[in-house]
Amino acid sequence: MNPISLLFLALAMSTDAFAAALGKGASLHKPRFLEALRTGLIFGAIETITPVIGWGIGQVAARFAESWDHWIAFTLLLVLGLHMIYNGIKHDDDEEQEKPGQHSFWILAVTAFATSIDALAVGVGLAFVDVNIVVAALAIGLATTVMVTIGVMLGRVLGTMVGKRAEIIGGIVLIVVGATILYEHLSAAA
């Protein structure tokens, strides 16, 4: 795989994580750069690992992974998105100060895993082409770290502009990302 193709692959794999990061940043109370970087590193680490796992699965059973990966991603993103929407609706106007300063590691890890299911599937596909999986995984992880860090900081601006509805918007974004993943896989199979 040439460097330009690898760059586009890495950027493509990080776009859904970027969208999720916008929502995560919007749902925090004035996230600082270190929180954005922490979120980026969690997403980046998971996004680095999943193509390697997918590559390993691809070495063994490509058809099995391709048949269910999009359903897992859709379900996880749907549940997380609905949870964010619920939290956004139940908050009162004066609860802006009660937004968390950071998300728990586990919430970030589950969101990162949900957005990295496509990287797992890409890893399966990479098992059938001549590519250095370590270089590809590191490129995907680095791009994701950068994109998510930027996404959280942009989400901070979105959160300030939109107020308490930011969490609802973030939830909708997660659901749209999940639905897009599902749609792309189902339409490709048709």
Q: Say what the pLDDT of residue 138 is.
A: 95
Mean pLDDT of 81-89: 77
| DSSP string for residues in 124-182 | HHHTTSS--HHHHHHHHHHHHHHHHHHHHHHHHHHHHHHGGGHHHHHHHHHHHHHHHHH
Q: How far apart are CA 72 and CA 33, in angstroms?
A: 31
Q: Under a CB-based contact definition with an 8 Å cutoff, are residues 70 and 182 in contact?
A: yes
Residue 95 predicted with pLDDT over 50? no
Q: How far apart are CA 169 and CA 171, in angstroms?
A: 5
Task: Express each pLDDT in 58-83 by its tens digit.
Answer: 777 656 656 776 777 677 678 777 87
Q: Domain limits of the chain?
A: 1-84+103-187
Task: Express each pLDDT in 143-160 by its tens digit.
Answer: 999 999 998 898 878 766
Sign of CA dihedral 36, 83, 168, 49: positive
Q: Under a CB-based contact definition with an 8 Å cutoff, are residues 170 and 23 in contact?
A: yes
Mean pLDDT of 121-132: 75
Q: Under a CB-based contact definition with an 8 Å cutoff, are residues 6 and 134 in contact?
A: no
Q: Say what the pLDDT of residue 162 is.
A: 60
Q: How far apart are CA 66 and CA 77, in angstroms?
A: 18
